């Protein structure tokens, strides 16, 4: 078992959020969440987010693995294990999605005539019994059928399960499944069908083709999920204490504390964030190059860089939330319940923690969910500029960066870019749609503002 | 009003000093001048002599904060921090690692950068606000709903994809505009058309949605009902009353977008080979040129702060009730 910094933090956040969810007793908050999960699009988005999260969490359990007794152990993740041979570099170069042969022709020795011929080489990953396109299509058909059967069983299971539950609770009355239940079932089923289909196909084919050095694109795309989640979640963890603590105390205490906090966030937000991030990451790059001894192996180095990137992103983006919380605290401070708490002799910290923080939490939640998708998009841009994640870390930014030159090739190599595009759109869109529902449910002015 | 601006100008000084301290920490304390000299000289096996020599020619040979050898007040002023800060505040940006004057380079690259950024900003604002206004006009209809969904879709796509796809389809497949490059004067139009268009497209999603929310909130207010009750035509009400009252949040938004303009220019300039400030920064990052990055951070901050001051002027113009005291 190898625990990287980012692994630990990611698990910590997920467990923390889960725990907070489980022990939270506030009725009003629970009702709001129920309102979020009453909308079909929020449910779909939530399921997609959970799938991405599961992939990222699986990829965040690392251990040492001896492939060869002679070679030093490699650090691999649970996801690497689960994908089997996919992560091994078996092909030489590009091949199209689901292809049987390589994309371009190369010099081969014909086994019969022993003469060199110019032809497309067969991929090593594909089984020998899948000889031609017709057999391949048969395989695809079988996979689709298997996935549909899984889906049907699942849907039937949901329906029967809920029937049985309803009957046990209330034997006399026959109850129909609600619309929300159907939405859950259908979206879960759809996702299960999709994942089964891809998983079965991935056993036999390179579902999304291979890249320039012959690595499976599906594997690269799936590995990028962890990076995106860490950028989104760990950065949030970095923002939160600063913004919450500084924002609330600046608003509550006023005076010189307010002046200092305001000065700090004005200064930081005055620097265009790209420039600040570029400056900080550049500085760290040079520092790490000058002192390589303190950072361990390649994997650990890349991990430290990822962690540092989160810290830098946090440092540049806490100011907006802090400013908002300061303004809100200024308003709350004058309200009766805070005044009466003060009159009863509560200490300032107690008032901030017990009375002010719970009342700004909805703002924090909305801001964090909205920031999440922004951060994922931002990572891609930063990696393109060269101040993002380590070049050896798989992320959507590094994928796009390597894929964009491939459009200039003749014939065009389109699948790495398209894969990165679709997988990134999936997560970001899900988060954005979910954020929309969260905002509608938690924003107190939502009902007056948007739909009148 | 003049007093107000004088005070705002004075307030810039502590912020700029703070920014300066921050960059100084990053580029001179985290990485000591010795490290920087070794990095710039290349190999790990550099002679001590070469390091001293490099530091001397680049003005890195003073102590960081405190000079023992100097006399009196010079103990504090004859230091790297003071000399580097003073030269920034005098806009003497020094020379890059390649030996070119940074100030001159910035001056030359300012033109192409502005030629891209200003049309992009204005066009984006015009199109975004008009679209949002149309959506508010038809609020609740299928047009409005479809557009909201489209906006959410569009804001979920990374700007990189718009640029890559646009360059591929319009530049490579359809061959409507040159793929990349730049020429001065009127020729620049051909080269800037596509980048400006792409800047517009990538700004659509988040901005249209934001303007729509703001204008929708305004449109529920009492003066709108009054204007309709007076018998004004919908066009008059929307253009003269709604838009006028929505100007303040629109201006605020546009200024908030100025730092993002940096980002957009960074990407567009490097993709399309426009020799502006954005590609200057990217090159500097690639070459790990601290001097350039430090100057650009300073300049970028200054531009943003000046932009904020101009907003105040725009507020007064947009809303006569606002008085700057």
Measured between CA atoms, how close is A140 to chain B, in angstroms? 30
Q: What contacts A1, CB < 8 A, 6 or more positions away?
A: A61, A62, A63
Encoding tokens for residue A426?
């999936």
Measured between CA atoms, how close is B72 to chain A, in angstroms? 31
Q: What is the mean pLDDT of residues A370-395?
A: 86
Q: Which tens digits make up the pLDDT trace of B48-96?
A: 777 777 777 766 667 667 666 666 666 666 677 777 777 777 777 777 7
First to last CA, chain A: 56
Q: Which tens digits make up the pLDDT trace of B82-131?
A: 777 777 777 777 777 777 788 888 888 888 888 888 888 889 989 999 99
Instruction: Write the residue in B15, B38, B285 that is nearest to A282 by C-beta.
Output: B285
Q: Which residues of B touch A282 (CB under 8 A)?
A: 285, 288, 290, 293
Q: Is A214 left (phi over 0), alpha (psi -120 to 50) or beta?
A: left
Q: Which tens digits make up the pLDDT trace of B306-315?
A: 888 888 788 8
By the CB < 8 Å criterion, does B286 face chain A? yes
Measured between CA atoms, how close is A367 to chain B, in angstroms? 15
- The predicted structure's pLDDT at residue A450: 33
Q: Which tens digits make up the pLDDT trace of B251-266?
A: 888 877 777 676 677 8
- The predicted structure's pLDDT at residue B43: 59
User: In chain A, whose CA is at the least distance from the CA of B210?
Assistant: A450
| CB–CB contact A449 B217 (8 Å) | yes
Chosen for mutation from A44, A224, A264, A283 (greatest number of chain B CBs closer than 10 Å) is A283
- The predicted structure's pLDDT at residue A153: 92
By the CB < 8 Å criterion, does A452 face chain B? yes
pLDDT at A260 exceeding the cut of 60: yes
Place of tokens 């000093």: B17
Q: Which tens digits make up the pLDDT trace of A313-367?
A: 998 888 888 988 888 888 888 888 888 888 888 888 888 888 888 888 888 888 8
State the angle between helix axes of B258-272 and B243-256 in degrees (0 to 180), rounded to the nearest 10: 60
CA B238 – CA B250 distance, rounded (Å):
15
- The predicted structure's pLDDT at residue A451: 31
- The predicted structure's pLDDT at residue A174: 64
Model confidence band, residue A6 (pLDDT cutoffs 50, 70, 90)? confident
- The predicted structure's pLDDT at residue B72: 66
Q: Which tens digits make up the pLDDT trace of A185-203?
A: 888 999 999 998 888 888 8
Measured between CA atoms, how close is B60 to chain A, in angstroms? 17
- The predicted structure's pLDDT at residue A449: 33
Model confidence band, residue A53 (pLDDT cutoffs 50, 70, 90)? very high
CB contact residues (below 8 A), chain B span 210-239, against chain A: 213, 216-217, 220
Q: Are A235 and A317 in contact (CB under 8 A)?
A: yes
From residue B125, give the alpha-carbon distance in Å to each of A238, B122, B205, B244, B251: 33, 5, 12, 15, 10
Instruction: Write the residue in B38, B168, B300 that is nearest to A407 by C-beta.
Output: B168
From residue B228, give the alpha-carbon distance in Å to each of A270, A271, B82, B224: 43, 45, 63, 6
Measured between CA atoms, how close is A446 to chain B, in angstroms? 10
| CB–CB contact A282 B288 (8 Å) | yes
Q: What contacts A98, CB < 8 A, 6 or more positions away?
A: A136, A140, A201, A205, A206, A207, A209
Q: What is the mean pLDDT of residues A73-102?
A: 76
Chosen for mutation from B11, B31, B209, B267 (greatest number of chain A CBs closer than 10 Å) is B31
CB contact residues (below 8 A), chain B span 4-43, against chain A: 14-15, 18-19, 22-23, 26-27, 30-31, 35-36, 38-39
pTM value > 0.95: no
CA A4 – CA A8 distance, rounded (Å):
6
Instruction: Please give the backbone phi and psi of residue B101, each rounded to the nearest 5 degrees, phi first.
Output: -70, 125
Domains of chain B: 2-89 (no CATH), 105-324 (1.10.3720.10)
| CB–CB contact B259 A285 (8 Å) | no
| CB–CB contact B213 A380 (8 Å) | no
- The predicted structure's pLDDT at residue A446: 47
- The predicted structure's pLDDT at residue B71: 67
Please report the sign of the dihedral spanned by the C-alpha atoms of residue B271, residue B272, residue B273, residue B276. Answer: negative
Mean pLDDT across chain A: 83
Segment (H or E) for A116: strand A116-122
User: What is the pairing mode between strands A74-77 and A62-65?
Assistant: antiparallel
User: In chain B, whose CA is at the least distance from the CA of A420?
Assistant: B161
Measured between CA atoms, how close is A95 to chain B, in angstroms? 21
Q: ipTM score here? A: 0.84
Domains of chain A: 92-202 (no CATH), 216-451 (1.10.3720.10)
User: In chain A, whose CA is at the least distance from the CA of B288?
Assistant: A282
Model confidence band, residue A426 (pLDDT cutoffs 50, 70, 90)? very high
| CB–CB contact A279 B301 (8 Å) | no
The candidate with the shortest Cα–Cα distance to B105, out of B265, B266, B284, is B284
Residue A97 DSSP code: T
Model confidence band, residue A85 (pLDDT cutoffs 50, 70, 90)? low
Q: Which tens digits make up the pLDDT trace of B152-171?
A: 999 999 888 898 888 888 87
Q: Are A94 and A409 in contact (CB under 8 A)?
A: no
Segment (H or E) for A77: strand A74-77
| CB–CB contact A377 B286 (8 Å) | no
| CB–CB contact B285 A400 (8 Å) | no
Tell me which of A92 and A52 has the higher pLDDT.
A52
Helix, coil or strand: residue B257: coil
Secondary structure (DSSP) of A135-163: HHHHHHHHHHHHHHHHHHHHHHHHHHHHH
| CB–CB contact B262 A387 (8 Å) | no
Q: Which residues of A touch B19 (CB under 8 A)?
A: 267, 270-271
Place of tokens 């399960």: A161
CA A104 – CA A118 distance, rounded (Å):
10
Model confidence band, residue A444 (pLDDT cutoffs 50, 70, 90)? low
CA A90 – CA A219 distance, rounded (Å):
13
| CB–CB contact B156 A429 (8 Å) | yes
CA A61 – CA A65 distance, rounded (Å):
12
The candidate with the shortest Cα–Cα distance to A278, out of B144, B175, B195, B288, is B288
- The predicted structure's pLDDT at residue B146: 93
pLDDT at A162 exceeding the cut of 50: yes
CA A315 – CA B106 distance, rounded (Å):
28
Q: Are A276 and A318 in contact (CB under 8 A)?
A: no
Measured between CA atoms, how close is B31 to chain A, in angstroms? 6
Instruction: Write the residue in B18, B172, B262 that is nearest to A267 by C-beta.
Output: B18
User: In chain A, whose CA is at the least distance from the CA of B292?
Assistant: A279
Instruction: Please give the backbone phi and psi of residue A264, each rounded to the nearest 5 degrees, phi first.
Output: -60, -50
Q: What is the mean pLDDT of residues B225-229?
A: 89
Q: Are A116 and A108 in contact (CB under 8 A)?
A: yes
The candidate with the shortest Cα–Cα distance to A47, out of A441, A442, A434, is A434
By the CB < 8 Å criterion, does A320 face chain B? no
CA B73 – CA B149 distance, rounded (Å):
64
């Amino acid at each position: 078992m190898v625990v990287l910094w980012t692994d630990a933090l990611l698990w910590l956040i997920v467990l923390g959020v889960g725990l907070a969810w489980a022990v939270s007793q506030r009725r009003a908050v629970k009702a709001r969440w129920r309102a979020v999960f009453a909308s079909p699009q929020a449910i779909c988005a939530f399921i997609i987010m959970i799938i991405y999260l599961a992939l990222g969490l699986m990829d965040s359990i690392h251990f040492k693995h001896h492939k060869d007794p002679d070679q030093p152990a490699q650090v691999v993740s649970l996801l690497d294990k689960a994908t089997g041979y996919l992560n091994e570099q078996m092909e030489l170069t590009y091949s199209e999605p689901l292809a049987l042969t390589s994309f371009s022709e190369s010099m081969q020795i014909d086994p019969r005539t022993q003469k060199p011929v110019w032809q497309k080489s067969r991929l090593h990953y594909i089984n020998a019994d899948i000889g031609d396109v017709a057999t391949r299509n048969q395989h695809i058909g079988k996979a689709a059928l298997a996935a549909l059967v899984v889906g049907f069983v699942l849907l039937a299971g949901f329906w029967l399960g809920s029937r049985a539950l309803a009957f046990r609770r209330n034997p006399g009355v026959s109850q129909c499944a609600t619309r929300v239940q159907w939405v859950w079932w259908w979206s879960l089923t759809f996702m299960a069908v999709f994942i089964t289909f891809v998983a079965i196909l991935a056993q036999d084919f390179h579902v999304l083709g291979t890249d320039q050095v012959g690595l499976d694109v599906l594997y690269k795309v799936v590995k990028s999920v962890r990076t995106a989640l860490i950028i989104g979640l760990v950065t949030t963890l970095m923002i939160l204490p600063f913004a919450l603590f500084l924002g609330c105390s600046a608003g509550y205490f006023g005076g010189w504390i307010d002046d200092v906090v305001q000065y700090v966030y004005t200064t930081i937000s005055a620097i265009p964030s790209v420039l600040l991030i570029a400056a900080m990451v550049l500085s760290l790059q040079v520092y790490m190059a000058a002192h390589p001894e303190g950072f361990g192996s390649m994997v650990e180095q890349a991990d430290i860089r990822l962690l540092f990137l989160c810290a830098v992103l946090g440092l540049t983006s806490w100011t907006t939330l802090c400013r908002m919380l300061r303004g809100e605290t200024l308003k709350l401070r004058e309200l009766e319940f805070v005044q009466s708490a003060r009159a009863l002799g509560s200490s300032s910290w107690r008032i901030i923690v017990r009375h002010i923080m719970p009342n700004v939490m909805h703002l924090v939640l909305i801001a964090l969910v909205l920031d999440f998708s922004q951060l994922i998009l931002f990572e891609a841009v930063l990696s393109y500029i060269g101040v993002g994640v380590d070049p050896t870390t798989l992320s959507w930014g590094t994928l796009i960066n390597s894929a964009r030159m491939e459009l200039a090739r003749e014939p065009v190599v389109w699948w790495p870019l398209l894969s990165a595009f679709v997988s990134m759109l999936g997560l970001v869109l899900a988060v954005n749609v979910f954020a929309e529902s969260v905002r509608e449910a938690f924003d107190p002015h939502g009902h007056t503002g948007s739909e009148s | 009003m003049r007093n107000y601006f004088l005070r705002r100008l004075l307030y810039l000084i502590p912020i700029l000093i703070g920014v300066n301290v921050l960059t100084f920490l990053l580029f001179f304390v985290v990485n000591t001048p010795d490290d920087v000299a070794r990095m710039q000289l290349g190999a790990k096996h550099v002679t001590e002599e070469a390091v001293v020599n490099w530091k001397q020619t680049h003005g890195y040979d003073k102590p960081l904060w405190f000079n023992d050898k100097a006399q009196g007040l010079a103990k504090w002023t004859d230091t790297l921090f003071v000399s580097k800060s003073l030269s920034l505040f005098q806009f003497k940006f020094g020379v890059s690692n390649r030996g070119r004057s940074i100030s001159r380079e910035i001056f030359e690259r300012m033109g192409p950068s502005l030629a891209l950024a200003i049309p992009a900003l204005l066009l984006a604002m015009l199109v975004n606000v008009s679209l949002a206004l149309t959506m508010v006009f038809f609020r609740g209809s299928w047009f409005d709903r479809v557009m909201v969904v489209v906006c959410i879709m569009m804001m979920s796509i990374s700007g990189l994809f718009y640029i890559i796809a646009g360059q591929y389809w319009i530049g490579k497949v359809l061959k409507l505009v040159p793929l990349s490059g730049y020429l001065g004067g009127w020729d620049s139009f051909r080269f800037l058309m596509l980048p400006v268009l792409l800047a517009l497209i990538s700004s659509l999603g988040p901005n249209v949605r934001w303007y729509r929310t703001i204008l929708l909130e305004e449109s529920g207010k009492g003066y709108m009902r009054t204007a309709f009750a007076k018998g004004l035509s919908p066009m008059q009400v929307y253009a003269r009353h709604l838009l006028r009252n929505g100007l303040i949040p629109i201006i605020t938004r546009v200024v908030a977008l100025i730092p993002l303009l940096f980002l957009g220019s960074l990407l567009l300039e490097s993709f399309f080979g426009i020799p502006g400030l954005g590609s200057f920064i990217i090159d500097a990052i690639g070459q790990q040129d601290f001097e350039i990055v430090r100057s650009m951070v300073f300049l970028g901050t200054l531009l943003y702060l000046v932009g904020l001051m101009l907003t105040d002027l725009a507020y007064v113009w947009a809303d006569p009730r606002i008085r700057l005291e």
